[in-house]
Structure 1
Amino acid sequence: MTRQTRLSKSDWLTAGFSALIQDGPAALKAEPLARRLNTTKGSFYWHFDDVPAYHGALLDTWEAEALSPLAKILEEEPNSGAKLRRLGQQITDYSSPVTDHENPEPAVRAWAQGDDKVAQRVEKVDGLRLNLLTELLRDSGITNPDWARVILGSTIGIQSLPGKARDTIGPMGSLVDLVLALR
Structure 2
Amino acid sequence: MSRPRLSPEKWIAAGFEALAALGPQALAAEPLARRLGTTKGSFYWHFKDVPTFQGALIDTWREEALAALAASVASGGNPDQRLRQLGRDILSDHTEIALRIWGRTDVRVGQSLKLIDEERLTYISLLLRELGLGNADFAIALQATLAGLPGLPASEAAGQLRIFDTLIDTVLALSE
**TM-score higher than 0.5 here?**
yes
Q: TM-score range by the shorter chain?
A: 0.7 to 0.9
Question: Aligned-residue CA RMSD in angstroms?
Answer: 2.2
**Structure 2 CA distance for partners of 1:36 and 1:164, relative to 1, 3 Å:** closer
Q: Which of 85, 91, 95 pairs up with 1:104?
A: 95
What is the aligned counterpart of 1:138 among 105, 129, 134? 129
Q: Percent identity?
A: 43
CA contact (8 A) 2:149 2:155 kept: no
The aligned residue for residue 100 of structure 1 is none
1:159–1:166: 8 Å Cα contact kept in structure 2?
A: no
* Residue 51 (structure 2) pairs with residue 59 (structure 1): no
State TM-score, norm by structure 1.
0.82
Unaligned runs of 5+ in 2: none
Is the alpha carbon distance of 1:172 and 1:179 closer, same or farther for their aligned partners in structure 2, counting shifts above 3 Å? Answer: same
Aligned AA for 2:96?
A: E
Query: Structure 2 vs 1, CA of residues 163 and 84 (structure 1 numbering), >3 Å: closer, same or farther?
Result: closer
Corresponding residue SS for 2:90: coil
Q: Which runs of 5+ in 1 are unaligned?
A: 96-102
TM-score normalised by the chain length of structure 2: 0.85
Q: CA deviation at 1:176?
A: 1.1
Choose which of 132, 154, 159 in structure 1 pairs with 2:150: 159
Q: In structure 2, what is the equivalent of residue 124 of structure 1?
A: 115
Shift of 1:67: 3.1
Alignment CA distance shift 1:140-1:58 (3 Å): same
- The number of equivalent residue pairs is 174
One-letter code of the match for 1:177? D
Query: How has the CA–CA distance of structure 1 residues 167 and 72 changed in structure 2, closer, same or farther, with 3 Å as cutoff?
Result: farther
Stretches of 4+ moved more than 6 A in 1? none
